Protein backbone atom coordinates (compact mmCIF):
# COMPACT_ATOMS: atom_id res chain seq x y z
CA UNK A 1 0.00 0.00 0.00
CA UNK A 2 2.79 2.40 0.95
CA UNK A 3 4.65 1.50 -2.25
CA UNK A 4 1.52 2.20 -4.29
CA UNK A 5 1.09 5.61 -2.62
CA UNK A 6 4.76 6.46 -3.19
CA UNK A 7 4.47 5.49 -6.84
CA UNK A 8 1.34 7.65 -7.16
CA UNK A 9 3.16 10.61 -5.61
CA UNK A 10 6.11 10.21 -7.97
CA UNK A 11 3.81 10.01 -10.99
CA UNK A 12 2.08 13.21 -9.81
CA UNK A 13 5.43 14.98 -9.51
CA UNK A 14 6.52 13.87 -12.97
CA UNK A 15 3.20 14.99 -14.47
CA UNK A 16 3.52 18.39 -12.79
CA UNK A 17 7.05 18.78 -14.08
CA UNK A 18 6.00 17.61 -17.54
CA UNK A 19 3.31 20.32 -17.73
CA UNK A 20 5.57 23.14 -16.50
CA UNK A 21 6.32 25.85 -19.04
CA UNK A 22 9.84 27.23 -19.34
CA UNK A 23 11.10 29.92 -21.72
CA UNK A 24 14.19 32.12 -21.85
CA UNK A 25 13.54 35.85 -21.62
CA UNK A 26 15.54 38.68 -23.22
CA UNK A 27 17.93 38.89 -20.26
CA UNK A 28 18.89 35.23 -20.78
CA UNK A 29 17.07 34.09 -17.64
CA UNK A 30 14.72 31.11 -17.53
CA UNK A 31 11.08 31.81 -16.66
CA UNK A 32 9.06 28.82 -15.48
CA UNK A 33 5.32 28.62 -14.84
CA UNK A 34 3.51 25.61 -13.43
CA UNK A 35 0.57 26.38 -15.75
CA UNK A 36 -0.34 29.04 -18.36
CA UNK A 37 -0.55 32.54 -16.94
CA UNK A 38 -4.07 33.86 -16.37
CA UNK A 39 -3.39 37.23 -14.71
CA UNK A 40 -0.61 39.24 -16.34
CA UNK A 41 0.74 42.70 -15.53
CA UNK A 42 2.46 44.55 -18.39
CA UNK A 43 5.03 47.18 -17.42
CA UNK A 44 5.77 48.67 -20.86
CA UNK A 45 3.60 49.79 -23.80
CA UNK A 46 5.45 47.52 -26.23
CA UNK A 47 4.92 44.60 -23.86
CA UNK A 48 1.17 45.20 -23.91
CA UNK A 49 1.20 45.05 -27.71
CA UNK A 50 3.26 41.86 -27.69
CA UNK A 51 0.88 40.21 -25.23
CA UNK A 52 -2.09 41.05 -27.45
CA UNK A 53 -0.18 39.73 -30.48
CA UNK A 54 0.47 36.53 -28.51
CA UNK A 55 -3.27 36.10 -27.99
CA UNK A 56 -3.27 37.10 -24.33
CA UNK A 57 -4.87 40.53 -24.32
CA UNK A 58 -7.83 39.38 -22.22
CA UNK A 59 -5.44 38.14 -19.53
CA UNK A 60 -3.76 41.51 -18.92
CA UNK A 61 -5.06 42.79 -15.58
CA UNK A 62 -2.76 45.81 -15.29
CA UNK A 63 -0.64 47.94 -17.61
CA UNK A 64 1.39 51.15 -17.57
CA UNK A 65 0.62 54.55 -19.08
CA UNK A 66 0.73 54.77 -22.90
CA UNK A 67 -0.36 51.14 -23.28
CA UNK A 68 -2.78 52.34 -25.94
CA UNK A 69 -2.67 49.71 -28.69
CA UNK A 70 -4.78 47.91 -29.66
CA UNK A 71 -7.86 49.91 -28.69
CA UNK A 72 -8.85 47.32 -26.10
CA UNK A 73 -5.64 48.05 -24.19
CA UNK A 74 -6.89 51.51 -23.26
CA UNK A 75 -9.44 49.99 -20.86
CA UNK A 76 -6.83 48.04 -18.83
CA UNK A 77 -6.31 49.40 -15.28
CA UNK A 78 -3.11 51.46 -14.92
CA UNK A 79 -0.33 50.59 -12.49
CA UNK A 80 1.94 53.60 -13.05
CA UNK A 81 4.47 54.29 -15.79
CA UNK A 82 7.99 53.19 -16.69
CA UNK A 83 9.49 55.56 -14.09
CA UNK A 84 7.16 55.04 -11.14
CA UNK A 85 5.14 51.88 -10.55
CA UNK A 86 2.22 51.50 -8.15
CA UNK A 87 3.53 48.42 -6.37
CA UNK A 88 0.58 48.17 -3.99
CA UNK A 89 -1.84 48.05 -6.89
CA UNK A 90 0.25 45.45 -8.67
CA UNK A 91 0.15 43.24 -5.57
CA UNK A 92 -3.62 43.75 -5.27
CA UNK A 93 -4.10 42.46 -8.82
CA UNK A 94 -2.66 39.04 -7.81
CA UNK A 95 -0.66 38.51 -11.02
CA UNK A 96 0.82 35.15 -11.86
CA UNK A 97 3.20 36.74 -14.41
CA UNK A 98 4.78 40.20 -14.66
CA UNK A 99 6.37 41.28 -17.95
CA UNK A 100 8.80 44.19 -17.64
CA UNK A 101 11.02 46.32 -19.85
CA UNK A 102 14.52 45.45 -18.73
CA UNK A 103 16.04 48.92 -19.23
CA UNK A 104 12.88 50.97 -18.95
CA UNK A 105 11.57 50.19 -15.47
CA UNK A 106 13.37 51.61 -12.44
CA UNK A 107 15.97 49.19 -11.07
CA UNK A 108 15.03 49.93 -7.44
CA UNK A 109 11.42 48.98 -8.08
CA UNK A 110 12.50 45.91 -10.00
CA UNK A 111 14.18 44.66 -6.84
CA UNK A 112 10.90 45.09 -4.95
CA UNK A 113 8.96 43.34 -7.71
CA UNK A 114 11.31 40.37 -7.62
CA UNK A 115 10.79 40.18 -3.85
CA UNK A 116 7.10 39.47 -4.47
CA UNK A 117 7.98 36.01 -5.76
CA UNK A 118 5.88 36.40 -8.92
CA UNK A 119 7.57 35.11 -12.10
CA UNK A 120 9.05 38.00 -14.10
CA UNK A 121 9.75 37.99 -17.83
CA UNK A 122 12.17 40.68 -19.06
CA UNK A 123 11.28 41.96 -22.53
CA UNK A 124 13.63 43.94 -24.74
CA UNK A 125 13.71 42.72 -28.37
CA UNK A 126 16.90 44.05 -30.00
CA UNK A 127 16.49 42.53 -33.46
CA UNK A 128 13.62 42.04 -35.87
CA UNK A 129 13.75 38.27 -35.36
CA UNK A 130 13.42 38.84 -31.61
CA UNK A 131 9.95 40.32 -32.08
CA UNK A 132 8.54 37.13 -33.57
CA UNK A 133 10.43 35.07 -31.00
CA UNK A 134 9.00 37.18 -28.16
CA UNK A 135 5.45 36.68 -29.40
CA UNK A 136 5.96 32.92 -29.49
CA UNK A 137 7.56 32.81 -26.04
CA UNK A 138 4.77 34.87 -24.49
CA UNK A 139 2.28 32.63 -26.27
CA UNK A 140 3.92 29.63 -24.60
CA UNK A 141 3.62 31.26 -21.17
CA UNK A 142 -0.02 32.10 -21.85
CA UNK A 143 -0.95 28.79 -23.45
CA UNK A 144 -2.01 30.63 -26.61
CA UNK A 145 0.61 29.18 -28.94
CA UNK A 146 -1.65 28.94 -31.99
CA UNK A 147 -2.60 32.63 -32.00
CA UNK A 148 0.96 33.61 -31.18
CA UNK A 149 2.42 31.55 -34.00
CA UNK A 150 -0.05 32.99 -36.52
CA UNK A 151 0.85 36.60 -35.66
CA UNK A 152 4.58 35.92 -35.33
CA UNK A 153 4.65 34.25 -38.75
CA UNK A 154 2.70 37.13 -40.32
CA UNK A 155 5.25 39.63 -39.00
CA UNK A 156 8.14 37.50 -40.25
CA UNK A 157 6.58 37.34 -43.72
CA UNK A 158 6.02 41.12 -43.81
CA UNK A 159 9.66 41.77 -42.94
CA UNK A 160 10.90 39.19 -45.45
CA UNK A 161 8.91 40.86 -48.24
CA UNK A 162 10.37 44.27 -47.40
CA UNK A 163 13.89 42.85 -47.23
CA UNK A 164 13.52 41.16 -50.60
CA UNK A 165 12.21 44.33 -52.20
CA UNK A 166 14.46 47.01 -50.73
CA UNK A 167 17.65 45.75 -49.09
CA UNK A 168 19.64 45.45 -52.33
CA UNK A 169 18.69 48.87 -53.67
CA UNK A 170 21.34 51.61 -53.95
CA UNK A 171 22.29 52.65 -50.40
CA UNK A 172 20.97 55.85 -48.84
CA UNK A 173 22.87 57.41 -45.94
CA UNK A 174 20.50 58.13 -43.05
CA UNK A 175 20.62 60.20 -39.87
CA UNK A 176 17.92 59.15 -37.42
CA UNK A 177 17.18 62.00 -35.03
CA UNK A 178 15.87 60.63 -31.75
CA UNK A 179 15.75 64.01 -30.01
CA UNK A 180 16.54 67.55 -31.05
CA UNK A 181 17.70 69.18 -27.77
CA UNK A 182 20.10 67.72 -26.91
CA UNK A 183 20.68 66.25 -30.34
CA UNK A 184 20.54 62.45 -30.03
CA UNK A 185 20.61 59.46 -32.38
CA UNK A 186 20.91 55.65 -32.29
CA UNK A 187 23.90 53.43 -32.98
CA UNK A 188 23.78 49.95 -34.49
CA UNK A 189 22.78 48.19 -31.25
CA UNK A 190 19.04 48.59 -31.70
CA UNK A 191 16.23 47.27 -33.83
CA UNK A 192 15.68 50.49 -35.82
CA UNK A 193 19.22 50.38 -37.18
CA UNK A 194 18.28 46.98 -38.59
CA UNK A 195 15.16 48.53 -40.15
CA UNK A 196 17.34 51.16 -41.83
CA UNK A 197 19.48 48.39 -43.34
CA UNK A 198 16.37 46.45 -44.33
CA UNK A 199 15.35 49.44 -46.48
CA UNK A 200 18.77 49.74 -48.09
CA UNK A 201 19.81 52.57 -45.80
CA UNK A 202 23.07 53.18 -43.97
CA UNK A 203 23.02 54.62 -40.44
CA UNK A 204 25.72 57.31 -40.49
CA UNK A 205 26.21 57.04 -36.71
CA UNK A 206 26.10 53.24 -36.41
CA UNK A 207 29.58 53.06 -34.85
CA UNK A 208 28.96 55.68 -32.14
CA UNK A 209 28.82 54.87 -28.43
CA UNK A 210 26.74 54.59 -26.31
CA UNK A 211 23.55 53.07 -27.65
CA UNK A 212 21.80 56.47 -27.75
CA UNK A 213 24.69 58.89 -28.33
CA UNK A 214 24.50 62.66 -28.02
CA UNK A 215 26.06 64.32 -31.06
CA UNK A 216 26.73 67.81 -32.38
CA UNK A 217 25.18 69.55 -35.40
CA UNK A 218 28.71 69.72 -36.81
CA UNK A 219 28.90 65.91 -36.75
CA UNK A 220 25.71 65.71 -38.80
CA UNK A 221 27.00 68.30 -41.26
CA UNK A 222 30.25 66.35 -41.62
CA UNK A 223 28.34 63.10 -42.23
CA UNK A 224 26.12 64.91 -44.78
CA UNK A 225 23.33 62.29 -44.79
CA UNK A 226 21.13 61.93 -47.85
CA UNK A 227 18.05 61.57 -45.63
CA UNK A 228 17.14 62.70 -42.10
CA UNK A 229 14.40 60.82 -40.29
CA UNK A 230 12.62 61.43 -37.00
CA UNK A 231 9.62 60.11 -35.09
CA UNK A 232 6.44 62.20 -35.19
CA UNK A 233 2.95 61.98 -33.64
CA UNK A 234 1.71 60.86 -37.05
CA UNK A 235 2.83 59.96 -40.55
CA UNK A 236 4.52 62.54 -42.78
CA UNK A 237 2.19 64.47 -45.10
CA UNK A 238 3.45 66.35 -48.17
CA UNK A 239 2.25 69.66 -46.75
CA UNK A 240 3.02 68.92 -43.10
CA UNK A 241 5.77 70.82 -41.28
CA UNK A 242 8.27 68.88 -39.20
CA UNK A 243 9.31 71.30 -36.41
CA UNK A 244 11.85 68.83 -35.00
CA UNK A 245 13.74 68.90 -38.31
CA UNK A 246 13.36 72.62 -39.12
CA UNK A 247 16.78 73.35 -37.61
CA UNK A 248 18.48 71.67 -40.58
CA UNK A 249 17.00 74.16 -43.03
CA UNK A 250 19.64 76.63 -41.84
CA UNK A 251 22.09 74.56 -43.88
CA UNK A 252 20.58 74.41 -47.38
CA UNK A 253 23.73 72.76 -48.74
CA UNK A 254 23.08 69.69 -46.57
CA UNK A 255 22.10 66.96 -49.01
CA UNK A 256 19.00 65.91 -47.06
CA UNK A 257 17.81 69.52 -47.03
CA UNK A 258 18.65 70.44 -50.63
CA UNK A 259 16.75 67.39 -51.92
CA UNK A 260 13.80 67.65 -49.56
CA UNK A 261 14.60 64.41 -47.75
CA UNK A 262 13.39 65.34 -44.25
CA UNK A 263 11.03 62.56 -43.19
CA UNK A 264 8.79 61.96 -40.18
CA UNK A 265 7.32 58.56 -39.34
CA UNK A 266 4.65 57.82 -36.75
CA UNK A 267 6.65 57.20 -33.59
CA UNK A 268 4.42 54.37 -32.41
CA UNK A 269 5.36 52.46 -35.56
CA UNK A 270 9.12 52.79 -35.21
CA UNK A 271 9.84 53.21 -31.50
CA UNK A 272 8.12 50.07 -30.25
CA UNK A 273 9.53 46.61 -31.02
CA UNK A 274 6.14 45.13 -31.91
CA UNK A 275 4.45 43.76 -35.05
CA UNK A 276 3.56 47.34 -36.02
CA UNK A 277 7.24 47.90 -36.72
CA UNK A 278 6.62 46.22 -40.08
CA UNK A 279 4.32 49.12 -40.98
CA UNK A 280 6.94 51.62 -39.80
CA UNK A 281 9.60 49.85 -41.85
CA UNK A 282 7.37 50.02 -44.93
CA UNK A 283 7.03 53.80 -44.45
CA UNK A 284 10.78 54.23 -44.10
CA UNK A 285 11.43 52.09 -47.17
CA UNK A 286 9.07 54.28 -49.22
CA UNK A 287 10.77 57.42 -47.92
CA UNK A 288 14.22 56.13 -48.86
CA UNK A 289 12.90 55.19 -52.29
CA UNK A 290 11.71 58.79 -52.64
CA UNK A 291 15.23 59.93 -51.73
CA UNK A 292 16.63 57.74 -54.51
CA UNK A 293 14.20 59.26 -56.99
CA UNK A 294 15.36 62.76 -56.07
CA UNK A 295 18.98 62.13 -56.95
CA UNK A 296 20.33 64.21 -59.81
CA UNK A 297 19.83 62.38 -63.08
The enclosing domain of 208 has a CATH number of 3.40.50.1980
Question: Phi and psi dihedrals of 293, rounded to 5?
Answer: -65, -25
Domain ranges, residue 258? 168-293
Q: Which of 155, 185, 211 is the last residue of a domain?
A: 155
pLDDT of the residue at 155: 98
* CA dist., res. 122 & res. 142, Å (int): 15
Same domain (yes/no): 183, 135: no
94 φψ region: left (φ > 0), alpha (ψ -120 to 50), beta (else): left
* CA dist., res. 236 & res. 264, Å (int): 5
Same domain (yes/no): 215, 114: no
pTM of the shown model: 0.88
Omega within 30 of 0 (cis) for the link into 20 = no
Q: Which of 106, 121, 155 is the last residue of a domain?
A: 155
Question: Residue 210 domain-assigned?
Answer: yes
The set of residues, in sequence order, having a beta carbon less than 8 Å from that of 132 and lying 6+ positions away, is 152, 153, 155, 156
Same domain (yes/no): 102, 182: no
**Sign of the alpha-carbon dihedral angle for 180, 226, 291, 268:** negative
Question: Residue 258 domain-assigned?
Answer: yes
The set of residues, in sequence order, having a beta carbon less than 8 Å from that of 110 and lying 6+ positions away, is 100
* CA dist., res. 25 & res. 137, Å (int): 8
Question: Residue 163 domain-assigned?
Answer: no
CA-nearest of 117, 119, 154 to 140 is 119
List pLDDT tens digits, range 35-94: 999 999 999 999 999 999 999 999 999 999 999 999 999 999 999 987 788 999 999 999
Question: Residue 243 domain-assigned?
Answer: yes
Same domain (yes/no): 56, 121: yes
| Mean pLDDT of all residues in 105-122 | 84
Q: What is the DSSP string of 190-245?
A: SHHHHHHHHTTEEETTTT-SSSS-B--HHHHHHH--SEEEEEESS---TT---GGG
Domain count, the chain: 2
**CA 164 to the chain's CA centroid:** 22
Question: Residue 133 domain-assigned?
Answer: yes
**Sign of the alpha-carbon dihedral angle for 178, 182, 187, 190:** negative
Same domain (yes/no): 151, 26: yes
Question: Residue 233 domain-assigned?
Answer: yes
Same domain (yes/no): 78, 111: yes
Percent of the residues in the chain that have a pLDDT greater than 90, as a whole number: 80
Question: Residue 1 domain-assigned?
Answer: no
Question: Residue 160 domain-assigned?
Answer: no
Query: Is the distance from CB of 162 to CB of 139 less than 8 angstroms?
Result: no
**CA 160 to the chain's CA centroid:** 18
| Mean pLDDT of all residues in 111-127 | 92
Q: Which of 132, 155, 178 is the last residue of a domain?
A: 155
Same domain (yes/no): 139, 216: no
Alpha helices in the chain (DSSP H): 2-19, 45-53, 87-92, 107-114, 128-142, 145-166, 191-198, 217-223, 255-258, 267-270, 277-293
Query: 113 or 195: whose pLDDT is higher?
Result: 195
pLDDT of the residue at 241: 53
Same domain (yes/no): 178, 237: yes
List pLDDT tens digits, range 234-283: 544 444 457 889 999 999 999 999 999 999 999 999 999 999 999 999 99
Same domain (yes/no): 176, 140: no
Same domain (yes/no): 77, 201: no
pLDDT of the residue at 223: 98
Same domain (yes/no): 218, 142: no
Same domain (yes/no): 236, 134: no
Amino acid sequence: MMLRCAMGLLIGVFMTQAHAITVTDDSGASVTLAKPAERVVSLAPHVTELLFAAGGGARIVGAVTYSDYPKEAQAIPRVGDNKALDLERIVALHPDLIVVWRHGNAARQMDRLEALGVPIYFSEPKHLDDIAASINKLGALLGTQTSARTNADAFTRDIARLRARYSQKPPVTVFYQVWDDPLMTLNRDNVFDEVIGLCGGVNVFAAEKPRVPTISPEAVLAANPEAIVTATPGATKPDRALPALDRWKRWPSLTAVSRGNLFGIDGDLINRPTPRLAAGAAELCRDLDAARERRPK
